[in-house]
Amino acid sequence: MSKWLSSKQHLGILPRGGCSFLGCRVVICGQIRNVVHIVHSPIGCAYYSWDYRADSRGYCFTTDLNEMDIIFGGENKLLKAVLKVIEEFKPDAVFIYETCSSGIIGDDIQFVAEKASQITEVPVLAFECAGFRGRSQNFGHKIANLCLFKLMLDGERNAIPNGVNVIGDFNSKDAEALEGMLRRIGLNVVCTFTANATIEKIRNMKNASLNLVQCSRSSEFLAKLMEEKFGIPYLDVNFFGIENCCESLRRIAEFFPTHSSVIEDFIDRNLRRIEGKLREYRKSLEGKTVFICHGAQRVFYWIKPFEELEMDIVGVATYFSKKDDREKLLRMLGVPVVDNPSVDELEEMLLDLKPDLVVSDDKIRHLVHKLSIPFLNGRGQGKAYVGFSGFLDFSKDVYETVNTKIWTLARRDRFWN
Ligand code: SF4
């Protein structure tokens, strides 16, 4: 396994994990609607703004700190920027992000946020998420969760019957699909956090009776805070793949026993509905190999769905995984597992393993395509991959990607023997 961990490390190259600021701004906060984001930084950090994730919402600006701001401080510039975006865009809230430069010079972004909020009466949240504050983007998730949790502290809690929150889903199509599925089994979805969330919905999250945690790595912290403060219990759920989906629905049924017959009926109907089509996809995909490159949590999600398609996972690359995650993956899969590979390492692994498919996000799409290997964005890109219909769509995408003839033609004369 270690043969791929070369000494050729190129710091800052995309496949490597992100910083706390990225975890806060892009992963957690970027999907909330009608919010304007201000990155208090020199222009470089603002690379993490619109296009980095397809589902990013709202406008994102940077204060573009220059040498003079670094010497004399950038608080006035930041305040002006906040007031200007409130005047121009009339957002529900403004989010200010600290970055390494503004953190190091000690700009007081909390003070600026309070002042702007007093002047305009618009909520302004300050996220102290400078890249140096944590070892990886995980710390940024925590900062974002803590800050957004404070929105729930205003007002009394009024429990909504059968109210649930979905926490840790950051794909708007997945969130829509989950909301639809949960409504069909008789639940009221208070908020999907953070895909499709609004400031108002986040405030109302405290009124739910149960939190469904879809990504525990990014959001279990919030679920725990809500359990402590409001007594709302949480369940870890996973709606990727049939077995995971059925298991999660049955766990929800245990919590809402009056819904159990509706839930069983829903599962039966859906299994029958997708069975025939899935059989076709399986027939074509059986024995094909796949390489997964995602955050560790998402890698765990994809294991069963690929087993259900009878495909073999031949290698895994994770971003910012913990040692325990990697050991667990090794035990479960018995295949090479590396964390935070550089471009060179990833390329070497892929050329050695020659998978029939790579599943990752767009950060490595071009590298994979250059190696003439079929690539699928595991985040769905405008589609839902959760639930029964989502799994059918996922299977179709895998089937079409693996069987696209262009890759066989492209491989003929490059890299592959
Ligand atoms: S916050 Fe720091 S680590 Fe993150 S992108 Fe900006 S400079 Fe880089």
Last residue of a domain, one of 209, 235, 264: 264
In 3D space, the residue among 265, 272, 248 whose CA is nearest the CA of residue 387 turns out to be: 248
User: Could you report the per-residue pLDDT of 128-173, keeping only the tens digit for each?
Assistant: 999 999 878 889 999 999 999 999 999 899 999 999 999 998 888 9
Are 318 and 346 contacting, i.e. CB atoms less than 8 angstroms apart? no
User: Could you report the per-residue pLDDT of 280-316, keeping only the tens digit for each?
Assistant: 999 999 999 999 999 888 899 999 999 999 999 999 9
In 3D space, the residue among 340, 362, 415 whose CA is nearest the CA of residue 10 turns out to be: 340
Asked if pLDDT for residue 350 goes beyond 60, the answer is: yes
**398 and 286 together in one domain:** yes
Could you please report the per-residue DSSP string of 264-308?
HHHHHHHHHHHHHHHHHHHHHHTT-EEEEEEEHHHHHHHHHHHHH
**228 and 181 together in one domain:** yes
**305 and 335 together in one domain:** yes
In this structure, the residue with its CA closest to atom 6 of ligand 1 is 45
Q: Please report whether residue 8 resides in a domain.
A: no
Strands 60-62 and 93-98: unpaired
- Asked if residue 208 has its Cβ within 6 Å of ligand 1, the reply is no
- Could you list the residue range(s) of the whole structural domain that residue 140 is in? 20-153
- Return the best residue to mutate from 25, 37, 41, 129 for the ligand 1 pocket (most ligand atoms within 8 A of CB): 41
Are 179 and 192 contacting, i.e. CB atoms less than 8 angstroms apart? yes
**326 and 360 together in one domain:** yes
User: Could you report the per-residue pLDDT of 35-55, keeping only the tens digit for each?
Assistant: 999 999 999 888 766 655 656
**249 and 372 together in one domain:** no
Q: How far is the CA of 159 from the centre of ligand 1 (A)?
A: 40
Last residue of a domain, one of 132, 153, 174: 153
- Distance from C-alpha of 266 to C-alpha of 245, rounded to nearest angstrom: 11
**244 and 279 together in one domain:** no
Q: How far is the CA of 336 from the centre of ligand 1 (A)?
A: 30
Q: For 94-171, where are the alpha helices, taking DSSP H only?
A: 100-105, 109-120, 137-149
**98 and 196 together in one domain:** no
What are the backbone dihedrals phi and psi of residue 189, each rounded to the nearest 5 degrees, phi first?
-90, 115
**149 and 94 together in one domain:** yes
Are 386 and 348 contacting, i.e. CB atoms less than 8 angstroms apart? no
User: Could you report the per-residue pLDDT of 109-123, keeping only the tens digit for each?
Assistant: 999 999 999 999 999
- Asked if residue 39 has its Cβ within 6 Å of ligand 1, the reply is no
Count of structural domains, the chain: 3
Q: Please report whether residue 182 resides in a domain.
A: yes
**61 and 89 together in one domain:** yes
| Higher pLDDT, residue 366 or 11 | 366
**406 and 296 together in one domain:** yes
Last residue of a domain, one of 264, 284, 319: 264
Q: What CATH number is attached to the domain comprising 377? A: 3.40.50.1980
Strand partners, 98: 40
Q: Please report whether residue 339 resides in a domain.
A: yes
Task: Write the single-letter amino acid at 285.
Answer: L
